[in-house]
Structure 1
Amino acid sequence: MGQPRKSRKKYNTPPHPWNAERIKNENKLMTKYGLKNKKEIWKADTLVRRYSREARYLLGFDMDQMQDEKLELLGHLARTGVLPEGAALEEVLNLTVEDILRRRLQTIVYKKGLARTPKEARMFVVHGHITLNGKKINSPSYVVLKGQEDEIGFYPSSPVAKQIEEYNKNKNEKATEE
């Protein structure tokens, strides 16, 4: 059954470690999303494969319980923002690793303009400068739900938040003077 204190790894490694094309694609994703290591890509890839496997399984049946499970899977993916509302089950098969990486807290902090680079966004999250619904989130891999995007901001007593407010205030004053 396994040791309860030691959790299993949540990713599968690539089947061939020295595939040049895969390594090049992973390096592009790492720079685009500011990832720390390739394990984060492999975790997202494992999620995509799990969703695809479940969708293929559900496409093979037409029972009532399978309909409930289809709605549950599609609802989960719609809540997380990976798929749009009302998407068909076949669209789950077209998911990519980037669809999962776009929903990470680190990426959304960067896209909202709270950080200048993805690496800086990661640093802000890890150092506790970012809140979600008023709670500090220290994990850059936290998957942000669709409805939570607007509630991301700086922690009120964060020195970074104060510096950015001062910078924006000075910037606005200079703009009004001219």
Structure 2
Amino acid sequence: MGDPRKQKKKYVAPKKPFDSDRFEQELQMIGVYGLRNKRELWTHRTELSNYRRQARNLLALPISEREQNERELVNKLARLGILTTDPTLDHVLDLTMENLLERRLQTVVFRKGLASSMHHARQIVTHGHVALDAARVNTPQRLITVAEEDRLQYTPKSALNDASHPARIAASDAARRVSAEGFEGSDKFDRSDRSERPARQDKPEKTEPVTNEAIGPVGGDVNE
């Protein structure tokens, strides 16, 4: 039967490991979109980099040679909802991380009002409460096409089908809040209050225990 296929790494780590500006941007995206760790973010960043590299390579070719490959690339991104109508290779070069993160299953579930927050959306996806055409989907990082978005629903046996379920009520309240305040205002990751945190207090120094030698001989003459 042969050896099992070797799993390849799906992301490329940043070339500069320590960059405070990048740290802030990554932490904000992780908090806003409810990602598990930076590896998930780097996976989508590598995917975006591959799309942009394909676009640059196609732009270097004559129009007659790149026409078919260009149409396949832009149509794929349009089906995923990453690009809008009448997309071109220039639009591919203008893509950002937010364009891909908005098409994640986790994000779409929250956008549709099936969950009360991004983290709740990840929970119900991984626990098998979300279905696509009655087929369970439990991969939060999966990119959802525009056609699949309308077919997302709760699984038939999920307890969330009950409209009186507390999670359903919280999800409805969150959907109304998002429509009123916007997505950024509803689940934004704020790190501006770090300077207001109390300073770390040093631990008290340990005192050495008193020994018999320091006290003196026991039972000695008090007149000495």
TM-score, with length taken from structure 2? 0.71
More deviation, 93-102/57-66: 57-66
What is the RMSD computed on CA atoms of the aligned residues?
1.5
- Please say if 1:25 is aligned against 2:54: no
Q: How does 1:29-68 map to 2 (within 5 A)?
A: 29-68=29-68
Q: Which has the higher helix share?
A: 1
Residues 159 and 165 of structure 2 are in contact (CA less than 8 Å); yes or no, is this contact kept in structure 1?
A: no
Partner of 2:164: 166
Q: Which amino acid aligns with 2:58?
A: L
Q: Per-residue CA shift, 1:68-95, capped at 9, x if unaligned? A: 0000000000001100121111110011
Q: Name the SS for the 1:16 alignment partner.
A: coil
Shift, 1:161, TM fit = 2.4
Shift, 1:166, TM fit = 2.2
Whole-Å separation in 2 of the counterparts to 1:85 and 1:44: 22
Whole-Å separation in 2 of the counterparts to 1:63 and 1:82: 23
Q: How does 1:101-120 map to 2 (within 5 A)?
A: 101-120=101-120
TM-score, with length taken from structure 1? 0.88
Q: How many residues align?
A: 165
Q: Per-residue CA shift, 1:76-131, capped at 9, x if unaligned? A: 00001100121111110011111111100000001111111100000000000001
Partner of 1:6: 6
Q: Which amino acid aligns with 1:138?
A: N
State percent identity of aligned pairs: 37
Shift, 1:61, TM fit = 1.0
Partner of 2:75: 75
Whole-Å separation in 2 of the counterparts to 1:159 and 1:17: 44
Q: Name the SS for the 1:166 alignment partner.
A: coil
Partner of 2:219: none
Whole-Å separation in 1 of the counterparts to 2:161 and 2:42: 33
Gaps of 5+ in 1: 172-178
Partner of 2:193: none
Task: Select the structure of larger CA radius of gyration.
Answer: 2
Shift, 1:134, TM fit = 1.2
Q: Name the SS for the 2:157 alignment partner.
A: coil
